[in-house]
Structure 1
Amino acid sequence: MKLKALTAAVLAAALLAACGSSAASSAAPAADTSSETAASADNSGDLLAQIQQHGEIVFGTEGTWSPWTYHDENDQLVGFDIEVAQKVAEKLGVKATFVEGEWDGLLAGVDGGRYDSMANGVEITEERAQKYDFSDPYCYIRTAIIVKSDDDSINSFEDLNGKTTANTISSTYATLAESYGAKTTGVDDLNQTIELLLNGRVDATLNAEVTYFDYLKEHPDANIKIAALTNDASQVAFPVRKGDETATLREALNQAINELREDGTIAEISEKYFGTDLSQAPSAN
């Protein structure tokens, strides 16, 4: 009887020890999960912290607008904006990831959190500044009115009144053309724009001066010319959502842009794609 009682006591003690061990091991993962949740909560209101935690910053881009963002002969996504964004990402200690889409949906993607920012020659306008915050400018460009070489009817922006133009709908260029009384036809890319112009289906198109010269490099015999240029340069920057959560990201973007401007990196990229340095604001005349 004593042996049976002793055996029963040993078994009971062993069972209690096993239960205790099981409880301890199941409690450990719960503590880890709690720690991870707390870390995630700490970053929930700071987009820069989230970006650095994930190791990437996501940019929306068209991928069809040379020389800003396009595919080369090897189908690699390249361009001025792409390289600047990659250099900025390096400064932030993360990689740049690009998601391609049509212009109309890119800013909405930033607004909805699908992209952290947008690398697509985005110009700062009063209307956009009401909805988005912007980094410091990394490029300064003038807008050109492009017409057929034998067209002398347009010599100023005021001459656009009653004319037809082709541009991406809701782009800065389309808005500018419409502000001078032009009727805008929507297009998908620059090649389609120039095709409509050369075929006489529109009177003009508005685009960056540098884009015009880049097109001429590829099509030196194109029957087009610049009819007029804006006096002031527009500012190209990275848009982000408004709010406190993007404050540290904006600061980091600004620091990266200024460092890349000061060390000549942006100027070098600009020379590569545009044949001139667009990283500095034009001097006042």
Structure 2
Amino acid sequence: MHIGIERRPARRGLAVAFGLALTLSLAACGDPEEDEAGPADGGAGSSEDAGVNTSPDQDRIRTDEVADIAALVPEEIRDRGTLEVVNSVGTVPPLNFYATDDETVIGVETDIATLVGDVLGLEVEFSTVDWANIFVGLDSGRYDAGFGNITVTEERKDKYDFATYRLDNVAFEAQAGADWSVEGPEDVAGRTIGVGSGTNQEQILISWSEQNVAAGLEPTDIRYYQNATDYYLALSSGRLDAYLGPNPSAVYHARISGDTEIIGSISGAGDELQGEIAATTKKDNGLVEALAAALNEVIENGSYGEVLDRWGLAGEAVEKSRINPPGLPRQDG
């Protein structure tokens, strides 16, 4: 299987992988390039020290073609022989990011897309574009599918079909050795919690704090941070009890640094809905059934689980790929 990379919009250094956790806006639902942050302090080890391969030589987990599923692919794509996959690369492992050569795109999204291509018997051609151009390219038919940490939303379902493959979670990250955990609103009553402004995480914290006050508990002291350096310094100095951010970057940082740990994770959609990340394709183009079937094949044969384990995201596994499940509600209500 050939994996090609289109010329990307800007060259980025990998820097210290664990320190580039983004304050991803889940209100924007999966944009991996928002609010980029610099390296965090803390004397953490390297990715290689923690057994994470960030080199261009990925030795990706692969699987076999399944003829019955490959037959579901629309004729035009089958005849072409390639699956044109579009993504957007940020600097936040373990999503799509650049390897140590600053050229090769690696990460959990890339690995899952590769497995899907294997099952469908198609050569995967990756194109790396700005976030907004994922959707422009899908609209025009230039790309077949997006694998870019894209969250299912009701608004997006008007224009796109989705086949889910990961839970969309956010996580509370605290200093290693924390003696408390978060399962619900009462656990953050009276706590000082960091968050990114304008994110779904902020909305969740505000809602939880209001619930606690209504129940006679202390409000949450919500502090705002724009980059990883600042909030990890606040964690290490004890000025923050925890930081609420995207689960993948929090898990990766905790794994690489050893300085922090995850003390709780919840749906990025809030209390009422489990958000899901999905392969995204133009609505009614006939591809979504093949994508979902391929994803269910790799879930069943175990290769999907191997990929998630590789990147530390077993907690975001789905039991089954679903087509167009309930998504985050429309912003206009």
TM-score range, shorter chain: 0.5 to 0.7
Instruction: Choose from 286, 295, 298 the match for 1:260.
Output: 298
Q: Counterpart of 1:121 in 2: which secondary structure?
A: coil
2:308 corresponding residue in structure 1:
270
Q: Counterpart of 1:123 in 2: which secondary structure?
A: coil
2:34 corresponding residue in structure 1:
none
Equivalent-residue separation in structure 2 for 1:252 and 1:116 (angstroms): 12
In the alignment, is the contact (CA less than 8 A) between 1:145 and 1:205 conserved in 2? yes
In the alignment, is the contact (CA less than 8 A) between 1:178 and 1:184 conserved in 2? no
Q: In the alignment, does 2:196 pair up with 1:166?
A: yes
Q: Which has the higher helix share?
A: 1
2:229 corresponding residue in structure 1:
195
In the alignment, is the contact (CA less than 8 A) between 2:86 and 2:126 conserved in 1? yes
Equivalent-residue separation in structure 2 for 1:105 and 1:185 (angstroms): 29
In the alignment, is the contact (CA less than 8 A) between 1:69 and 1:80 conserved in 2? yes
Gaps of 5+ in 2: 1-71, 208-221, 235-239, 268-272, 321-333
The alpha-carbon deviation at position 68 of structure 1 amounts to 2.1
Cα offsets for 1:27-79 (capped at 9, x unmatched): xxxxxxxxxxxxxxxxxxx9832222222222221233311212222442221
Q: What's the TM-score once normalised by structure 1's chain length?
A: 0.61
Q: Counterpart of 2:314 in 1: which secondary structure?
A: coil
Equivalent-residue separation in structure 2 for 1:60 and 1:86 (angstroms): 12
- Percent identical pairs in the alignment equals 20
Q: Counterpart of 1:53 in 2: which secondary structure?
A: helix
From the superposition, tell whether residues 197 and 268 of structure 1 become closer, same or farther in structure 2 (CA, over 3 Å). Answer: same
Q: CA RMSD in A?
A: 4.1
From the superposition, tell whether residues 241 and 275 of structure 1 become closer, same or farther in structure 2 (CA, over 3 Å). Answer: closer
Q: Counterpart of 2:143 in 1: which secondary structure?
A: coil
Amino acid at match of 1:113: G
From the superposition, tell whether residues 133 and 213 of structure 1 become closer, same or farther in structure 2 (CA, over 3 Å). Answer: same
Q: Which deviates further from its counterpart, 261-270 or 66-75?
A: 66-75
2:277 corresponding residue in structure 1:
236
The alpha-carbon deviation at position 226 of structure 1 amounts to 4.6
From the superposition, tell whether residues 81 and 213 of structure 1 become closer, same or farther in structure 2 (CA, over 3 Å). Answer: same
Amino acid at match of 2:119: K
Q: In the alignment, does 2:245 pair up with 1:206?
A: yes
Equivalent-residue separation in structure 2 for 1:97 and 1:185 (angstroms): 39
From the superposition, tell whether residues 277 and 265 of structure 1 become closer, same or farther in structure 2 (CA, over 3 Å). Answer: farther
From the superposition, tell whether residues 184 and 253 of structure 1 become closer, same or farther in structure 2 (CA, over 3 Å). Answer: farther
Q: Which deviates further from its counterpart, 106-115 or 257-266?
A: 106-115
The alpha-carbon deviation at position 87 of structure 1 amounts to 1.5
Q: Counterpart of 1:238 in 2: which secondary structure?
A: strand
Q: Counterpart of 1:114 in 2: which secondary structure?
A: coil
In the alignment, is the contact (CA less than 8 A) between 1:132 and 1:239 conserved in 2? yes
1:87 corresponding residue in structure 2:
115
Spell out the pairing of 1:103-182 with structure 2 (5 A cutoff): 103-135=131-163, 137-146=164-173, 165-166=195-196, 174-178=199-203
Amino acid at match of 1:54: R
Equivalent-residue separation in structure 2 for 1:196 and 1:83 (angstroms): 31
Q: Counterpart of 1:274 in 2: which secondary structure?
A: coil
Cα offsets for 1:114-133 (capped at 9, x unmatched): 32221122222223223321
Q: Counterpart of 1:195 in 2: which secondary structure?
A: helix
Q: How many residue pairs get matched? A: 220
From the superposition, tell whether residues 94 and 186 of structure 1 become closer, same or farther in structure 2 (CA, over 3 Å). Answer: farther
Amino acid at match of 1:55: G
Equivalent-residue separation in structure 1 for 2:277 and 2:144 (angstroms): 17
Equivalent-residue separation in structure 2 for 1:132 and 1:185 (angstroms): 33
Q: What's the TM-score once normalised by structure 2's chain length?
A: 0.53
Amino acid at match of 1:80: V
From the superposition, tell whether residues 175 and 130 of structure 1 become closer, same or farther in structure 2 (CA, over 3 Å). Answer: farther
Cα offsets for 1:199-236 (capped at 9, x unmatched): 66xx845202x431211222223xx5556532664322
- Name the larger-Rg structure: 1
The alpha-carbon deviation at position 157 of structure 1 amounts to 6.6
- The structure whose RCO (Cα within 8 Å, separation 6+) is larger is 2
Gaps of 5+ in 1: 1-45, 188-192
Instruction: Choose from 59, 83, 87 the match for 1:57.
Output: 83
Equivalent-residue separation in structure 1 for 2:81 and 2:254 (angstroms): 39
Q: Counterpart of 1:99 in 2: which secondary structure?
A: strand
From the superposition, tell whether residues 275 and 111 of structure 1 become closer, same or farther in structure 2 (CA, over 3 Å). Answer: closer
In the alignment, is the contact (CA less than 8 A) between 1:61 and 1:101 conserved in 2? yes
